[in-house]
């Protein structure tokens, strides 16, 4: 199959590379010339474990290339995937579809022969029909179908998720499009990964329902964590006790500083807006959004309380600022709420993050970037463990405490315990829900 991937970000690049590894001919397109230049030099513009090796392999095999020329990529393609961003629209919480619609217009102008135009971006219900209208209006004679193929990969484990998915969801409205999509995903079908064919609307809805459900699960345990703190229970054990129940499952039950990232915040907002538009308020999702905001702010209070009621003039070392480990993605990371609040309250903030600095430095002005947790902790008043990168999971707490002016730790990922911290010489330790 000949595939054009429009948008070469976290999703487009991973999908393009993996499709080429299936054996398809893939051209990845991006309107950012800097990105295309780097890709053509063999550089991966994002941090995603394993992507560099797989990309180099498929470029060398002649199955994968990169261009800024959308028309050339679309010409003769069997399928054109739209994998551009759908951020929150300023002001109203709706998904901003301007990138999707602009891509659809450009694709329309370049279509040759029968093509399936597949939306991989997360888009509100009805968008695929809109894409079809846009293309039909621009090119009434064009031979094409639209398909919805939402993506479920997780940053940091994206290749494995793409190659070994829990399921692939494909929304189609014609047998011809279904055949093309079936051919594209054939390698996964042969390995018996479930491929779910639905109509367009159902596929679009599955993605929002899944993300909102996961965001709800996280927020639920964060709310339980708060109550645990008041009543003397340990949320880690509560989560374990809940998660062993097969009906509940143990994933997404880790109490922490609130969900962030490129998907949950914007997708919950977009679902809430969709509900309002159809006079079916998404009450649970709306509450989740509100509670999650409170969770993030509660972390600031925790740090301030730990520092004796004020962080003014104190030096705080923050370990990890990306929204989760193994990615450099900073979109809606809890650190973007917590770090500026600490600086605003007069703290001097040092940050260590294994991969986040390049993305984060313009988003977190006024912090001092350092490359080693122990060096950063030197003469500081508090360490905040915000993102659980592996290198922060096995810190030598004794060594860390010794370097600090006042040894305090806000462990917002529940990696350590009050007992460990005390033994290592910490005079203050807080975590979440314990
Ligand atoms: N990041 C994730 O983990 C994830 C997971 C599942 C689904 N999604 C969804 O996938 C979509 C893409 O997300 P992302 O994180 O990859 O976004 P991204 O911002 O990393 O990448 C989007 C890319 O599209 C390019 N682009 C925009 N308009 C273009 C055009 N007309 N022609 C060519 N290139 C264009 C941009 O330059 C950018 O490089 C979103 O809808 C998102 O919700 C993301």
Percent of the chain with pLDDT over 90: 100
pTM assigned to the model: 0.97
Which of 198, 233, 251 is the last residue in one of the domains?
198
What's the pLDDT tens digit per position in 421-431? 999 999 999 99
Which of 183, 198, 213 is the last residue in one of the domains?
198
Calculate how far, in angstroms, residue 7's C-alpha sits from the geometric centre of ligand 1.
6
Residues 235, 236, 241, 246, CA torsion sign: positive
Which of 177, 198, 219 is the last residue in one of the domains?
198
What's the pLDDT tens digit per position in 394-424? 999 999 999 999 999 999 999 999 999 999 9
122 is in an annotated binding site: yes
Identify the residue whose tokens are 């990845």.
Answer: 28
Does residue 382 carry a catalytic annotation? no
What's the pLDDT tens digit per position in 248-271? 999 999 999 999 999 999 999 999
The mean per-residue pLDDT over the stretch 141-170 comes to 98
CB 318 within 8 A of CB 384: yes
Task: State the pLDDT confidence band at 32, using cuts at 50, 70 and 90.
Answer: very high
- How many separate domains does the chain show? 2
For residues 176 and 251, state if they share a domain: no
For residues 298 and 356, state if they share a domain: yes
What's the pLDDT tens digit per position in 272-331? 999 999 999 999 999 999 999 999 999 999 999 999 999 999 999 999 999 999 999 999
Task: State the pLDDT confidence band at 168, using cuts at 50, 70 and 90.
Answer: very high
For residues 103 and 121, state if they share a domain: yes
What's the pLDDT tens digit per position in 100-154? 999 999 999 999 999 999 999 999 999 999 999 999 999 999 999 999 999 999 9
Q: Over 90: is that where the pLDDT of 91 sits?
A: no
Calculate how far, in angstroms, residue 102's C-alpha sits from the geometric centre of ligand 1.
13
Rama region for 91: left / alpha / beta (φ>0; ψ in -120 to 50; rest): left
152 is in an annotated binding site: yes
Alpha-carbon distance 20 to 29, whole Å?
14
Q: Over the chain, what is the mean pLDDT?
A: 98
Identify the residue whose tokens are 């880790």.
Answer: 254
For residues 228 and 318, state if they share a domain: yes
For residues 103 and 234, state if they share a domain: no
What's the pLDDT tens digit per position in 42-77? 999 999 999 999 999 999 999 999 999 999 999 999
User: CA 113 from chain center: how many Å?
Assistant: 35
For residues 385 and 422, state if they share a domain: yes
Torsion angles phi and psi, residue 117, rounded to 5: -100, 110
State the pLDDT at residue 8: 98
For residues 144 and 156, state if they share a domain: yes
For residues 45 and 167, state if they share a domain: yes
153 is in an annotated binding site: yes
State the pLDDT at residue 276: 97
- Residues contacting 225, CB < 8 A, separation 6+: 235, 255, 432, 433, 434
Percent of the chain with pLDDT over 70: 100
For residues 236 and 374, state if they share a domain: yes
Q: Over 90: is that where the pLDDT of 357 sits?
A: yes
For residues 214 and 168, state if they share a domain: no
Task: List, chain by chain if needed, residues with CB within 6 Å of any ligand 1 atom.
Answer: 6-12, 29-32, 35, 70, 83-86, 99, 102-103, 106, 121-122, 151, 153, 155, 262-263
Please give the C-alpha separations between residue 165 and each of 82, 183, 187, in angstroms, as whole numbers: 20, 17, 12
Please give the C-alpha separations between residue 153 and each of 76, 83, 150, 315, in angstroms, as whole numbers: 28, 13, 10, 37
The mean per-residue pLDDT over the stretch 363-387 comes to 98
Q: Considering 18, 228, 263, 382, which one is annotated as catalytic?
A: 263
Instruction: Find the CATH number of the domain harbouring 139.
Output: 3.40.50.720
What's the pLDDT tens digit per position in 203-222? 999 999 999 999 999 999 99
User: CA 367 from chain center: how many Å?
Assistant: 24
State the pLDDT at residue 235: 98
Alpha-carbon distance 260 to 318, whole Å?
17
For residues 281 and 173, state if they share a domain: no
For residues 209 and 170, state if they share a domain: no
Domain assignment of residue 350, given as a range:
199-434
Calculate how far, in angstroms, residue 13's C-alpha sits from the geometric centre of ligand 1.
9
């Amino acid at each position: 199959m000949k595939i054009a991937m429009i948008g070469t970000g976290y999703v487009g690049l991973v999908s393009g590379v993996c499709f080429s590894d299936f054996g398809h001919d893939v051209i990845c397109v991006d309107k950012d010339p800097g990105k295309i230049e780097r890709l053509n030099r063999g550089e991966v513009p994002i941090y995603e474990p394993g992507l560099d090796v797989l990309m180099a392999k498929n470029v060398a095999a002649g199955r994968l290339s990169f261009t800024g020329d959308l028309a050339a990529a679309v010409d003769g393609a069997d399928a054109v995937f739209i994998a551009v961003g759908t951020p929150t629209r300023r002001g109203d919480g709706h998904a901003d579809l301007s990138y999707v619609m602009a891509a659809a217009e450009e694709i329309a102008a370049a279509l040759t022969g029968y093509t399936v135009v597949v939306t991989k971006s997360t888009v509100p219900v009805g968008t695929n029909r809109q894409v079809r209208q846009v293309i039909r209006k621009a090119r009434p004679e064009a031979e094409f179908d639209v398909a919805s193929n939402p993506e479920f990969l997780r940053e940091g484990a994206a290749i494995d998720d793409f190659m070994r998915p829990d399921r692939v969801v494909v929304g189609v409205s014609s047998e011809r499009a279904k055949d093309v999509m079936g051919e594209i995903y054939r390698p996964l079908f042969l390995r018996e990964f479930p491929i779910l064919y639905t109509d367009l609307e159902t596929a679009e809805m599955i993605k929002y329902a899944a993300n909102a459900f996961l965001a709800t699960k996280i927020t639920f345990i964060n709310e339980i964590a708060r109550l645990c703190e008041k009543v003397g229970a340990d949320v880690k054990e509560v989560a374990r006790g809940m998660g062993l129940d097969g009906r509940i499952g143990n994933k997404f039950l880790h109490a922490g500083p609130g969900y962030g990232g490129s998907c949950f915040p914007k997708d919950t907002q977009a679902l809430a807006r969709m509900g309002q538009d159809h006079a079916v308020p998404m009450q649970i999702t709306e509450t989740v959004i509100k509670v999650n905001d409170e969770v993030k702010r509660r972390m600031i209070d925790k740090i301030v309380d730990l520092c004796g009621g004020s962080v003014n003039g104190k030096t705080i070392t923050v370990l990890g600022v990306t929204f989760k480990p193994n990615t450099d993605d900073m979109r809606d990371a809890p650190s973007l709420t917590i770090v500026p609040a600490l600086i605003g309250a007069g703290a001097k903030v040092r940050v260590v993050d294994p991969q986040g600095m390049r993305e984060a430095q313009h988003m977190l002005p006024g912090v001092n970037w350092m490359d080693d947790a122990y060096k950063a902790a030197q003469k500081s008043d508090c360490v905040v463990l915000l993102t659980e990168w592996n290198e922060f999971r096995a810190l030598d707490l004794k060594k860390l405490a010794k370097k600090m002016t006042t040894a305090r730790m806000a462990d917002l990922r529940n990696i350590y315990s009050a007992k460990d911290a005390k033994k290592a010489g910490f005079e203050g330790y807080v975590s979440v829900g314990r």
